[in-house]
């Protein structure tokens, strides 16, 4: 069973998702239901495969079937036959009974408050009564979501989140993945692979594109899936990586080339970080100080300081944007792009309901500006080769892979990844970016690393004043 939080779809999963997308698009009822945007999921199990959608039950979709490919020797063979493949049902249906009664009471309170108007003493009391009733109803609802795991254990959504000392967020338990696993356990099916992908209009903030896979969110689904996956052989998702290398070192600074998969600084996963690696080799008995950030899956140049004073001076240069940074990447550009070069100006903010993703947010986001240009000729070939890719291969051509050079003018978390993937940016996710939909799922590319590399770094030496310009590609 794959890890749904760190996921690259297999060729079989990619084929099933593509067939599901085609089937929905060809059905006016289903397309009408899902076209405004919906996350769907597929579970490959011991008896075939099952589809689910995120959200409550959709009455219009009842009884509608999808075409089913037969699975032989792990290769999907599309048939012209149609069979009844119902969507995995919701874990709990709140359409009637006690829930409906309390919902009616809340609606009546809302109408009464509106009739009284703002500032009315009775309205203030009724708002408090409504809030308390809503909390009680939410607790009752989540107590009815009874979830299973592969060990045969059962817990409510309320109990799962209570272990963390918090109430479940809205719609917890209604995502596709919990529905699929619950369906498998209730019907004696062995889960083999699970994946979630988007269908329909992309939202403004999050990165979403029809047919692209996205990992499960840690905020809402994290606690739920961590329970439901117990009893299955699920890999942790840790990525092995090559050894880092020291590019430049003196008594004040050290610059290293970080491999993809290695954390820049110590984290909770227990993996050795670049900072720890450098401390052991370049500052025995001393300390190496972090200056800036680089995602775990991004490779490339990082500068560290050997004293607090030097750290402060280098950080000042980053804050004042006097440091020049160059990144290279390979992107899935099958949808095409508007221009060969340009500036992407899209403010970013943390997606608190879908951590660790970032989202475009024009109201709450911080400024984020990225310059880009598409590479060609020898430069493009070198960028492809750096990631072990061949621009002339059938896979590369099928995905419309292109090499890009990025010059970020700001340093927001996941800035280049979001600006590249978002439909208001390049609309071309970086190849291998499972977080923002750049996992191709085709052949050898399905296991590729994130194809993003910090290739150039230029700054002023904090002591000598010398201009330091470094390139590694």
What pLDDT is recorded for position 79? 35
- Token pair, residue 381, equals 């070939």
* Cβ neighbours around 306 below 10 Å, total: 21
Q: Give the Å distances, CA to CA, from 391 to 26, 168, 399, 424, 442.
A: 33, 46, 10, 26, 15
Q: Model's pTM, two decimal places?
A: 0.79
What pLDDT is recorded for position 75? 37
* Contacts with 106 (C-beta within 8 Å, 6 or more apart), sequence order: 130, 133, 134, 137
Separation between Cα atoms, residue 392 and residue 380, nearest integer Å? 11
Separation between Cα atoms, residue 108 and residue 105, nearest integer Å? 5
Q: What letters, b where the CB count within 10 A reaches 16 and e where it falls short, cover 16-30?
A: bbebbbebbeebeeb
Query: Which of these is catalytic: 257, 295, 297, 354?
Result: 295
Domain map (residue ranges) of the chain: 11-92+145-228, 97-143, 245-471
Q: Give the Å distances, CA to CA, from 152 to 45, 76, 228, 230, 440.
A: 17, 31, 10, 9, 34
Separation between Cα atoms, residue 298 and residue 199, nearest integer Å? 28
Indicate the DSSP class of residue 367.
P
* Contacts with 377 (C-beta within 8 Å, 6 or more apart), sequence order: none
Q: Are strands 452-460 and 299-305 parallel, antiparallel or unpaired?
A: parallel
What pLDDT is recorded for position 163? 81
3-state secondary structure of 44: strand
- Widest Cα–Cα separation across the chain: 75
Question: What are φ and ψ of residue 386, in 5° steps?
Answer: -60, -35
pLDDT tens, per residue, the chain with 473 residues: 888 887 778 889 988 998 899 988 888 878 888 888 999 999 999 888 999 999 876 544 444 444 444 444 443 343 333 233 458 888 886 666 677 777 788 888 888 888 887 777 788 888 888 888 888 888 888 888 899 999 999 999 999 988 877 788 888 899 999 999 999 999 999 999 999 999 999 888 888 888 889 988 877 888 999 999 999 998 765 445 678 999 999 999 999 999 998 999 987 666 789 999 999 888 777 789 999 999 999 999 999 999 999 999 999 999 999 999 999 999 988 766 668 899 999 999 999 878 789 999 999 999 999 999 999 999 999 999 999 888 888 878 878 899 999 999 999 999 999 999 999 999 999 998 988 987 655 545 544 689 999 999 999 999 999 999 999 98
Separation between Cα atoms, residue 84 and residue 63, nearest integer Å? 8
Separation between Cα atoms, residue 272 and residue 276, nearest integer Å? 6
What pLDDT is recorded for position 58? 58
- Token pair, residue 34, equals 């899902």
3-state secondary structure of 377: helix
Separation between Cα atoms, residue 376 and residue 389, nearest integer Å? 15
3-state secondary structure of 20: helix
Q: Are strands 324-332 and 348-350 parallel, antiparallel or unpaired?
A: unpaired
CB 160 within 8 A of CB 147: yes
Separation between Cα atoms, residue 408 and residue 416, nearest integer Å? 7
Short-list 407, 408, 389, 409, CA closest to 399 = 389
* The total number of residues written for the chain in this structure: 473
- The secondary structure of 144-176, three-state, reads HCEEECCCCCEEEHHHHHHCCCCCCCCCCCCCH
3-state secondary structure of 432: coil
Of the options 3.20.20.70, 3.30.9.10, 3.30.2350.10, 3.40.50.300, the CATH number for the domain spanning 245-471: 3.30.2350.10
Short-list 379, 374, 456, CA closest to 420 = 374
Q: Indicate if 295 belongs to the active site.
A: yes
Separation between Cα atoms, residue 232 and residue 229, nearest integer Å? 6
């Amino acid at each position: 069973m794959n890890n749904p939080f760190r996921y690259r779809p297999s060729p079989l999963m990619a084929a099933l998702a593509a067939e599901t997308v085609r089937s929905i698009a060809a059905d006016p009822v289903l397309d009408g239901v899902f076209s405004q945007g919906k996350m769907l999921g597929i579970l490959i199990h011991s008896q075939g495969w099952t589809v689910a959608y995120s959200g409550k039950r959709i009455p219009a979709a009842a009884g509608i079937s999808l075409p089913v490919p037969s699975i032989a020797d792990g290769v999907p063979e599309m048939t012209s036959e149609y069979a009844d493949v119902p969507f995995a049902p919701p874990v709990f249906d709140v359409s009637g009974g006690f829930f409906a009664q309390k919902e009616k009471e809340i609606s009546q309170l809302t109408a009464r408050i509106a009739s009284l108007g703002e500032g009315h003493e009775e309205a203030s009391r009724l708002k408090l009564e409504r809030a308390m009733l809503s909390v009680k109803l939410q607790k009752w609802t989540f107590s009815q979501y009874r979830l299973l795991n592969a060990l045969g254990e059962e817990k409510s959504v309320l109990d799962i989140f209570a272990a963390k000392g918090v109430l479940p967020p809205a719609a917890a338990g209604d995502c596709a993945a919990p529905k699929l696993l619950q369906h498998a356990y209730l019907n004696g099916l062995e889960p083999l692979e699970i994946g979630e992908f988007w269908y329909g209009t992309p939202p403004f903030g999050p990165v979403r594109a029809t047919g692209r896979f996205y990992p499960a969110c840690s905020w809402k689904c994290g606690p739920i899936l961590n329970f439901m996956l117990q009893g299955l052989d699920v890999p942790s998702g840790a990525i092995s990586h090559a050894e880092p290398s020291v590019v430049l070192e003196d008594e004040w600074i050290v610059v290293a080339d970080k491999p993809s998969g290695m954390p820049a600084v110590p984290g909770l996963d227990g993996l050795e970080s670049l900072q720890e690696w450098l401390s052991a080799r370049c500052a025995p008995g001393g300390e190496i100080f972090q200056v800036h950030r680089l995602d775990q899956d991004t490779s490339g140049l990082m500068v560290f300081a050997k004293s607090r004073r030097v750290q402060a001076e280098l950080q000042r240069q980053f804050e004042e944007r006097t440091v020049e940074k160059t990144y290279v990447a390979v992107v899935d550009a099958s949808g095409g792009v508007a221009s060969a070069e340009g500036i992407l100006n899209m403010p970013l903010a943390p997606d608190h309901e879908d951590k660790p993703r970032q989202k475009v947010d024009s109201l709450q986001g911080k400024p984020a500006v990225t310059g880009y240009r598409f590479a060609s000729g020898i430069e493009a070939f070198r960028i492809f080769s750096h990631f072990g890719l061949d621009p002339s291969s059938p896979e590369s051509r099928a995905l419309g892979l292109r090499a890009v050079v990025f010059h970020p003018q700001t340093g927001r978390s996941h800035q280049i990844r979001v600006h590249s993937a978002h439909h208001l940016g390049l609309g071309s996710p970086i190849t291998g970016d499972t977080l923002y939909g750049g996992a191709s799922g085709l052949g050898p590319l399905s296991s590729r690393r994130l194809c993003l590399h910090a290739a150039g770094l230029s700054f002023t030496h904090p002591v000598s004043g010398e201009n330091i310009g470094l390139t590694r590609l």
